[in-house]
């Protein structure tokens, strides 16, 4: 039952409005959708708990109820729409590829289409999540945004990609981790909805980075030990001395260049950056929870999306987080998630505590 007067399909249409003059209405509709999604999420979480569905074989509970969830997850399918801004800044731009249509001549369109698919795959097959809102929302992307636009962003309803400036950065669809990152901002919006400022903003960024590397690792079937743990590998032009934009495993080491300087991300609370730039350093301090995740996954070994990823996903989508959650609050949310799934005496819980301690977020 929906408590909202405006039906969800209409809210969706309003929320997608991109004309500036209509933004107040669109924002209001988005907030209403978030509330609705929250209600659905609570119900779905209950269903999930009741059916005790856990993908990792080591944690499957034997019992009279067969775990039926994952088979249903295999049938979840994405609905993708790719638009082309044709180097303008008007969104959404012209539709160039829809779900199920064959590849087009423009490789950037196909990269976006495939990247959206890979991101959908991780969330659906591993966590049973049906798109961003867990209700099958269309995945929307616009490519070729702006002139020499050296950025990619999430505007609340779609991911938007520039082609880069060609001097420092190349086109943003070239790295699957960028696509996974932007779409995860969409998942965050429908779940914890971490405010994009200060520590909650850094958590928003960190979630986007964590699930972005998991999208890549899942697509490549890489173990934690095999993975690069890099965000935006290959995005720099040859003129830049650097392998990627960020490293989850070793924040602060992704680049070191004459013009750009050195990767400024801290890997522990000792290096926490106080700044008013970048919404309070959201792309800087995200290095701290990023590294905690990488340490947890490396300590547990195997596929990072399984045990480490489940703890993070449970924390992100669970009841212990919200818009103003700070680092300490997120630590508690992951602890509670680990205890629920694996118990307080588990290897997983011990590894989690060690990971947070290593980044200075545990006494």
283: annotated active-site residue: yes
Contacting other proteins within 40-79 (CB under 8 A): none
208 contacts other proteins (rule: CB under 8 A): yes
Q: Which stretch binds other proteins (CB under 8 A): 91-99, 144-152, 289-297, 308-316?
A: 144-152
Q: Which stretch binds other proteins (CB under 8 A): 52-60, 67-75, 177-185, 222-230?
A: 177-185
278 contacts other proteins (rule: CB under 8 A): yes
Contacting other proteins within 280-299 (CB under 8 A): 282-284
Q: Rounded to an integer, what distance in angstroms lies between the CA atom of residue 65 and that of residue 109?
A: 44
137 contacts other proteins (rule: CB under 8 A): no
273 contacts other proteins (rule: CB under 8 A): no
Q: Where are the beta strands (DSSP E) in the chain?
A: 80-84, 94-98, 139-143, 152-154, 159-161, 230-231, 246-247, 256-257, 261-262
Q: State how far Cα 15 lies from the chain centre.
A: 20
91 contacts other proteins (rule: CB under 8 A): no
155 contacts other proteins (rule: CB under 8 A): yes
Q: State how far Cα 296 lies from the chain centre.
A: 18
28 contacts other proteins (rule: CB under 8 A): no
| 139-143 vs 80-84, strand pairing mode | parallel
CB of 279 to other proteins, least distance (A): 6
Strand-pairing partners, residue 98, are: 81
CB of 346 to other proteins, least distance (A): 33
CB environment 60-82: b (16+ within 10 A), e (fewer) = eeeeeeeeebeeebeebebebbb
Q: State how far Cα 186 lies from the chain centre.
A: 7
CB of 152 to other proteins, least distance (A): 5
Q: Give the residue ranges of DSSP H helices in 191-301.
A: 198-220, 278-285, 287-300
One of 137, 144, 283, 306 is an active-site residue; which one? Answer: 283
Dihedral sign (CA 275, 279, 284, 285) = positive
Q: Rounded to an integer, what distance in angstroms lies between the CA atom of residue 238 and that of residue 166?
A: 10
Q: Which stretch binds other proteins (CB under 8 A): 6-14, 164-172, 306-314, 339-347?
A: 164-172
CB 207 within 8 A of CB 135: no
CB of 46 to other proteins, least distance (A): 29
Question: Token pair for residue 136?
Answer: 């099958």
Q: Which is nearer to other proteins, 12 or 170 (CB)?
A: 170
Q: Which is nearer to other proteins, 265 or 334 (CB)?
A: 265
Tell me the C-alpha to C-alpha distance, in Å, between residue 230 and each of 183, 218, 226, 310, 318: 17, 14, 12, 20, 27
182 contacts other proteins (rule: CB under 8 A): yes
Q: Which is nearer to other proteins, 49 or 151 (CB)?
A: 151
Tell me the C-alpha to C-alpha distance, in Å, between residue 340 and each of 55, 140, 255: 15, 34, 39
**Cα(first)–Cα(last) distance of the chain, in Å?**
44
Q: Which is nearer to other proteins, 286 or 356 (CB)?
A: 286
Q: Which is nearer to other proteins, 208 or 315 (CB)?
A: 208
169 contacts other proteins (rule: CB under 8 A): yes
Q: Which is nearer to other proteins, 55 or 287 (CB)?
A: 287
195 contacts other proteins (rule: CB under 8 A): yes
Q: List, by residue number, the catalytic residues.
A: 182, 283
Residues in touch with other proteins (CB under 8 A):
150-156, 168-169, 172, 178, 181-182, 185, 195-197, 204-205, 208, 232, 235, 245-246, 260, 264-265, 276-279, 282-284
């Amino acid at each position: 039952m929906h408590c909202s007067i405006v039906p969800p399909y209409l809210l969706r249409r309003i929320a997608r409005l991109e004309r500036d003059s209509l933004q107040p209405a669109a924002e209001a509709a988005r907030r209403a959708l978030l509330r609705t999604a929250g209600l659905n999420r609570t119900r779905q979480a209950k269903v999930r708990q009741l059916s005790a569905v856990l993908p990792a074989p080591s944690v499957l509970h034997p019992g009279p109820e067969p775990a039926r969830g994952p088979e249903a997850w295999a049938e979840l399918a994405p609905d993708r729409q790719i638009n082309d801004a044709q180097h303008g800044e008007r969104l959404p731009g012209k539709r160039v590829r829809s779900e199920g249509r064959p590849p087009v001549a423009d490789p950037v369109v196909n990269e976006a289409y495939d990247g959206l698919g890979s991101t959908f795959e991780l969330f659906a097959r591993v966590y049973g999540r049906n798109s961003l809102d867990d209700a099958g929302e269309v995945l929307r992307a616009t490519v070729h945004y702006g002139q020499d636009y050296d950025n990619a962003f999430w505007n609340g309803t779609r991911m938007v990609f520039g082609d880069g400036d060609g001097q420092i950065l190349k086109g943003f669809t070239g790295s699957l981790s960028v696509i996974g990152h932007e779409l995860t901002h969409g998942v965050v919006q429908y779940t914890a909805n971490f405010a994009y400022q200060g520590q909650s903003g850094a958590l928003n960024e960190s979630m986007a980075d964590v699930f972005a590397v998991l999208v890549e690792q899942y697509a490549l079937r890489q173990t934690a030990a095999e993975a690069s743990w890099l965000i935006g590998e290959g995005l720099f032009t040859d003129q830049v001395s650097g392998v990627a934009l960020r490293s989850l495993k070793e924040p602060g080491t992704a680049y070191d260049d004459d013009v750009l300087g050195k990767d400024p991300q801290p890997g522990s609370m000792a290096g926490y950056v106080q700044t008013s730039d970048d919404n309070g350093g959201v792309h800087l301090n995200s290095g701290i929870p990023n590294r905690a995740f990488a340490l947890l996954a490396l300590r547990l070994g195997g596929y990072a999306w399984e045990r480490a990823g489940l703890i993070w996903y449970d924390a992100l989508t669970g009841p212990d987080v919200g818009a103003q959650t700070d680092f300490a609050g997120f630590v508690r949310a992951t602890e509670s998630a680990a205890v629920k799934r694996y118990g307080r005496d588990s290897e997983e819980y011990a590894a989690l505590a060690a990971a947070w301690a290593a980044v200075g977020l545990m006494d």
